[in-house]
Amino acid sequence: MGVETMSALVAQAGDEDPLRALAAVAELQREVHRTEATVVRRARVGGATWEQIAAALGVTRQAVHKRYGGSRFGRG
């Protein structure tokens, strides 16, 4: 998803119709989770430790490892 689409969703999240706003927020959340997973994978492949990734995300190492600890995120 590109910046323009994300910007449009942010604008829609401010819609006066709460159901349209909620739908936009839900799509933004899905995109944020997809983007986070991609960046975590890139960080692991680039040699970042779980501790470094956790610090960047503001969570514990255990939390980030539980969410992303599978082999698909590189280096176990």
Q: Which residues contact 14 (CB under 8 A, 6 or more apart)?
A: 21
Residues 12 and 20 sit within 8 Å (Cβ to Cβ): yes
Q: What pLDDT was estimated at residue 76? A: 54
- Would you say residue 15 has pLDDT above 60? yes
What pTM, to 2 d.p., does this model score? 0.79
Task: Give 19-70 pLDDT, tens digit per residue.
Answer: 999 999 999 999 999 999 999 999 999 999 999 999 999 999 999 989 998 6
Rounded Cα–Cα distance for residues 53 and 24 (Å)? 28
Q: What pLDDT was estimated at residue 25? A: 96
- Would you say residue 1 has pLDDT above 80? no
Q: What pLDDT was estimated at residue 41? A: 95
